[in-house]
Amino acid sequence: MKYLSYVLAILAVTVLAAGTVWAFPTGSVENPKKGILVVAFGSSMSEGEASIEAVTDAVRKAYSDVEVRVAYTSRIIMRKIARENGKIVDEPAVALAKMAFEGFTDVAVLSTHIIPGEEYDDLKAVVDGFRTISSTAPKAGFRFIGLSSPLLSGAKDFERLASVLADSYSEQTKKGAVVLVGHGTHHFANAAYGSLQFALWGKSPNFYIGTIEGLPSYDDVASRLKASKVKNVWIAPAMLVAGDHAHNDIAGPESDSWKSLLEAQGYKVTPVLEGLGQNAAVRNLILDKLREAWDGFRP
């Protein structure tokens, strides 16, 4: 199975590096030790980290009796914050290996990814690796490990997020257009953005979805805006965090940012530099996904 050998190697290295197992309180069938691993792509900007922290705080509040940890899937971001800030954030395989070694019996892995793309596929492979370990070598794994689906995974997810966004931008859509920009990907999961667009149009014709690295592109959004005749545009990230992409590609001062390109077309553009994780209603949707993980959802 993909990632199984990798997970086993990480688990072995973690055990050797950590020292003696008796240093940690371990769970048992009679006294299970539960944990939650919040997994995000990551951010090296304080503004981006604020969204991840908001989600993590909401999880801790909802599960006050469960230990909550955080892992990132972007190694580039992990290396950058370690180099610049001296802060170490584990990737999922390492974080789960540590939790297994420390005696956690039941673990829910919360994906905060927006769509089930490549990053989520990798996370699922790691979790599947631990499931295999747990079934064949229980002492090295968990009694239970669950993984949530991303924010946009099923038909109901698009409608629910569209309703939240319609409420959040109700005043703006009365005065002009709201352009929400996702990361985008060449993975087939990019189709989720199109589904979200249709759900949003059911709330208001003044919502537009675009992506930085996929479809719909900037040109797609610009052509639709031109046909709409609007003059005012609010632009915001359709991402968990308002990090580097939001501050540079979307709302940066450079001539090729979405904000600058739209202003060059004559629009009055107002950036909204807040990630979806900073929206309390979106956090509630993410908490629903966490409950899904505890229920044993298997993507």
- Shared-domain flag, residues 99 and 114: yes
Query: Residue 259 domain-assigned?
Result: yes
Query: Catalytic residues, which ones?
Result: 183
- Shared-domain flag, residues 145 and 285: yes
Residue 24: per-residue pLDDT: 52
Residue 218: per-residue pLDDT: 97
Predicted confidence (pLDDT) at residue 29 exceeds the cutoff of 90: no
Residue 136: per-residue pLDDT: 87
Better-scored residue on pLDDT, 15 or 137 = 137
Residue 17: per-residue pLDDT: 44
Residue 15: per-residue pLDDT: 45
Q: Which domain holds residue 264?
A: 155-239+241-273
3-class SS string, the chain: CCCHHHHHHHHHHHHHHHCCHHHCCCCCCCCCCEEEEEEECCCCCHHHHHHHHHHHHHHHHHCCCCEEEEEECCHHHHHHHHHHHCCCCCCHHHHHHHHHHCCCCEEEEEECCCCCCHHHHHHHHHHHHHHHHHHHCHHHCCCEEEECCCCCCCHHHHHHHHHHHHHHCHHHHHHCEEEEEECCCCCHHHHHHHHHHHHHHCCCCCEEEEECCCCCCHHHHHHHHHHHCCCEEEEEECCCCCCHHHHHHHCCCCCCCHHHHHHHCCCEEEECCCCHHHCHHHHHHHHHHHHHHHCCCCC
| Residue 167 CA, distance from chain mean position | 21
- Shared-domain flag, residues 13 and 143: yes
Determine the average pLDDT of the residues in 288-292.
96
Query: Residue 299 domain-assigned?
Result: no
Predicted confidence (pLDDT) at residue 7 exceeds the cutoff of 70: no
Predicted confidence (pLDDT) at residue 63 exceeds the cutoff of 90: yes
Q: Is the pTM higher than 0.75?
A: yes
- Shared-domain flag, residues 135 and 256: no
Which of 34-48, 63-77, 180-194, 197-211 is predicted with the least confidence, judged by mean pLDDT? 34-48
Tell me: the pLDDT tens digits for 185-222? 999 999 999 999 999 999 999 999 999 999 999 999 99
Better-scored residue on pLDDT, 139 or 193 = 193
- Shared-domain flag, residues 64 and 118: yes
Query: Residue 25 domain-assigned?
Result: yes
Predicted confidence (pLDDT) at residue 13 exceeds the cutoff of 50: no
Q: What is the mean pLDDT of the chain?
A: 90
Residue 139: per-residue pLDDT: 79
**Count: domains in the chain:** 2
β-partners of residue 106 are 34, 144
